[in-house]
């Protein structure tokens, strides 16, 4: 679960029961009322409204989607569940399908102008890559950029310095994104050169927030157009095979 939402829920659970307003005092006939579920969610997660709130395929439950996070709440507003919902008939992970859609939205809502894009001459696929300047496997991926591009794979870089804000890796990312020629600055930094320190209005923290929403924990992390996440380095031919599946 997204750390922010988990923290909000933990704080909510610490509130004395008498102070919590939920739909538990409504009759069974009124338990299906969507307003009851909205009220319970607002009490549990006051800082955010769900991107969507619909009846779950599981009877008596509603599905609340927050970005790439999916929660299930009972129709009387009393029970909340985090986990995967499987359709055993179709052998489908319904929760993961919604997460993928949420991840795709998070990434696609980012202005491409804030990304550093290495475009294929004849593009077939686009992959968004959360990257850390100092990550060894990120550097390995970058050394093979020509091969990805040759295979028709466009790579869009987003910044995710794993050490966090106000660290050496963070300021390297800022310096690369503030360069006049960001692609050249990225290539030089990935080759081990320390970029000249630069400052500007930059998207690094916006990208980091998107990474948290997607659930990124390491780099490189690749996000496909459909929201599927591929953690770690994948060599060019293998990535092409995965994209073609």
Residue bearing tokens 């955010």: 48
Q: Which of 13-22, 65-74, 143-152 has the lowest mean pLDDT?
A: 13-22
| 61-81: average pLDDT | 91
| Residue boundaries of the structural domains of the chain | 3-93, 108-244
CA-closest candidate to residue 128, choices 219, 55, 19: 219
Stretch 49-54: mean pLDDT: 90
Least confident of 57-61, 140-144, 228-232, 237-241: 57-61
**How deeply is 174 buried, as exposed, middle or buried, from its count of CB atoms within 10 A (0-12, 13-18, 19+)?**
buried
Q: What is the mean pLDDT of residues 89-103?
A: 92
The answer to whether the 3-93 and 108-244 domains have the same CATH topology is: no
pLDDT in tens, 31-41: 457 889 999 99
Class of domain 108-244: alpha beta
**Which one has a higher pLDDT value, 153 or 245?**
153
Q: Which residue has the higher pLDDT, 30 or 240?
A: 240
Q: What is the pLDDT of residue 15?
A: 39
Interval 186-200 mean pLDDT? 96
pLDDT at 6 over 70: no
Q: Which of 53-57, 121-125, 144-148 has the least mean pLDDT?
A: 53-57
- Quick one: average pLDDT of 185-212? 96
Q: At what angle do helices 94-108 and 204-214 cross, to 10 degrees?
A: 170
Superfamily of domain 3-93: Disulphide bond isomerase, DsbC/G, N-terminal (3.10.450.70)
Residues 53 and 34: beta-carbon distance below 8 Å = yes
Query: Model pTM?
Result: 0.78
Residues 66 and 50 sit within 8 Å (Cβ to Cβ): yes
What value does the mean pLDDT take over residues 142-170?
Answer: 97
- pLDDT level of residue 130 (50, 70, 90 thresholds): very high
DSSP string spanning 12-37?
A: HHTS-GGG---STTS-GGGTT-HHHH
Per-residue pLDDT for 158 more than 60?
yes
């Amino acid at each position: 679960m997204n750390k922010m939402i988990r923290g909000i829920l933990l704080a909510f659970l610490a509130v004395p029961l008498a102070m919590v307003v939920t739909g538990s005092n409504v009759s069974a006939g009124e338990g299906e009322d969507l307003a009851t579920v909205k009220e319970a969610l607002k009490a549990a997660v006051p800082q955010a409204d769900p991107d969507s709130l619909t009846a779950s395929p599981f009877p008596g439950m509603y599905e609340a989607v927050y970005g790439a996070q999916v929660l299930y709440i009972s129709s009387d507003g009393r029970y909340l569940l985090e986990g995967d919902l499987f359709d055993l008939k179709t052998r489908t992970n319904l929760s993961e399908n919604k997460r993928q859609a949420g991840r795709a939205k998070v990434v696609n809502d980012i202005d491409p102008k804030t990304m550093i894009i290495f475009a294929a001459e004849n593009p077939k696929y686009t992959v968004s890559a959360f990257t850390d300047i100092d990550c060894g496997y990120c550097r390995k991926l970058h050394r093979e950029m020509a091969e990805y591009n040759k295979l028709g794979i466009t790579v869009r870089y987003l910044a995710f310095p794993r050490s966090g804000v106000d660290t050496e890796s963070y300021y390297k990312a800022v310096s690369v994104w503030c360069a006049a020629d960001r692609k050249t600055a990225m290539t030089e930094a990935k080759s081990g050169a320390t970029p000249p320190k630069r400052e500007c209005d930059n998207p690094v923290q916006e990208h980091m927030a998107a990474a948290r929403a997607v659930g990124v924990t390491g780099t490189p992390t690749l996000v496909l157009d459909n929201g599927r996440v591929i953690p770690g380095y994948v060599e060019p031919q293998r990535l092409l095979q995965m994209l073609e599946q």
